Structure 1
């Protein structure tokens, strides 16, 4: 038993699930939240209690974009350190949702005029060259590493978007 962890009140860990969707021009779908830094990010959100990560990724993609492409494999696991007063530590799992036609309609949740608060207010299809202009640094890195994992048919372990080198390979 770990003496530094109370088994009745373990430290919380957020589990996030995001989706990498590309169009047939090679651009990546990103969405802009109406909260926080309001920078673009991959579609996704938090896993609900008892929900599988894969189910959470698919649910969030449908909720945020209306898209229902088949889910592919895991691309990256990105660890985010705790920021006291801001958020708990977290793990984000990014899954490959393949390629859709560039003409595919995207439906953001709660469109203006519905009386419901909107979680997202915009989306873009971005080339990897445009990520730094529209995304937080860690998110741009996460997206690039997800693309690399897709291309190299591997899974990457990240810490705030940066590759974690395996033990003994420094």
Structure 2
């Protein structure tokens, strides 16, 4: 059966062309390649290792920061709240990355179906949406610390003060544009 939406392709009779195409491999395999369809690959374990390290190390440093701020200064600053927001977003980014791995991220394209790739790209798109505010909060925290160190008052170092606030504004506009 030839479908008018896909000229030149023939589909088995009684089969929906879209369902049929979603079951095909994403990419044709190279000669001699393993063609077993799977969403599990030998290198996917490295995502888990990297994700665990990328959450344990920031957790330790954030814990030290909170302890020193509360023990020495007895209050938290705006940069600290930006870091708390970024920490929550990086945890969600790791969860979204794991969802991508579950749908075959890290496996050759000829070993996953087009339907699995659609699910993988869905989670990747959500990860891209989370990435923009994550980077904004991290950069804002760094720039707020620059302001505190190099220009605690606007009159002391106008270039750093206006430059940092201008960069924060530019980052906000850029990341909002990238996100939508």
Counting strand residues as a fraction of each chain, which structure ranks higher? 1
Counting helix residues as a fraction of each chain, which structure ranks higher? 2
The TM-score, its normalising length taken from structure 2, stands at 0.20
Give the greater-gyration-radius structure (CA). Answer: 2
